[in-house]
Every structure is written in structure tokens, then in C-alpha cells.
Amino acid sequence: MKTIDLRKDAKVFRRELESSVKSLTAAKPASLSALEIGYSCDQSGWIFIHADERPKHERDGQWTTSIDEDRCIDFGHWIEAIESRFEGEAFTVIKVDGTQFVVPALDEDAEEESEDGGDPFTVAIGEMILDVLLKAKSDGVFKPLKSYGDVQLDIEDFNGGWGWPEYDNLGKTNLA
């Protein structure tokens, strides 16, 4: 059975996040309203860090028009695990807090149901990204962005399966 250890993926993402913030501050954009973290795990495996240089950030999916394969952080093992489900194999996910769960093999005859309405793998990846962002904030990684005012941190699954913060809290609980 395959295992996806999101604790390892979090370390990779953290390194890339720090590098992106340094590159962004060196580029000195005219404005910066958000750092949007987009990700995909069901048709491909990647995280994309996008600087929203619009004067006012909106969670409107605009970041998806800027996706550049060369700037995506590759997590191809995510899609390999998803594909294994279609081949009748389950896989294990180790979340950032060390807890584990099994993503079962797909049963084409059964209807997919989720107790909380979300795909647990998509949710676990979103939670990993959130954990990294909050720790980076606590560690001062985003301090160089303070000159831009209230820069929002925003996470969104490419297919809309998970996002942070809730729409009502945009610009309130997610400031860098």
C-alpha cells in the first residue's frame, strides 16, 4: 500500500514558500494584496504560489490563469496514489499532525460518500498547506510583505474542494 507522508511534503512546501517570498520582495511589485496558494491532487499533483498584485484581493480563481508548470511545486506522488485507487489499491495518508487515514480503493459500483462533504485527501493537503502558512507567519517569513499593508493568505484547491479561510473571513483571519 502506498503512503503519502504530508509531513515530508510540508517541508518541501515550506522551503519553496520561503524562496517565493524572497523572490517576490526582491521583485518589488507595485502592489500586493494576497499570496494565493493553489493546489491540485486529483488530476495532477502540485502546489502553486501566486502573488496577487491587484490592489484588492478577491477569491475569484484569477490565480488559475497564471499557473505556470515551471513554477509549480511538483508532488507527482499525489496523483500516483490517486491513480492507484482506480487500480484497486488503497493508500495511506499521514497528516501533518502524525495521524493517519486510509483512502480506500475505488469501487465503481458504490456511490462515493464523505461524512463531511469533502474528499479527505484534498482536505488533508489543504490543512497541511494551512499549517505551513501559519507556522511561517509565526516564524516571521511574511514580515517583508508588511510594507504592502494587509496582504492576505489564501488557499484554494483547483477544483474548489477545499479553501481557507471561509469567504466571510477573507481579509480578517488570513493576514500575513
d(CA 40, CA 48): 9
User: Which residues is 101 bridged to in the sheet?
Assistant: 93
Q: Which of 11-20, 54-63, 90-99, 125-134 is the least confident region? A: 54-63
pLDDT of residue 30: 95
The string of pLDDT tens digits covering residues 138-160 is 999 999 999 999 999 999 999 99
CB 45 within 8 A of CB 73: no
Give burial (CB, 10 Å; 0-12/13-18/19+) of 76. exposed
- φ, ψ of residue 158 to 5 degrees: the values are -50, -40
pLDDT of residue 117: 55
Enter the DSSP assignment of 112. P
**Reported confidence tier of residue 43, pLDDT bands at 50, 70, 90:** confident
The C-alpha cell at 149 is 499593508
Q: In sequence order, which residues have a C-beta less than 8 Å from that of residue 173 and are 6 or more positions away?
A: 165
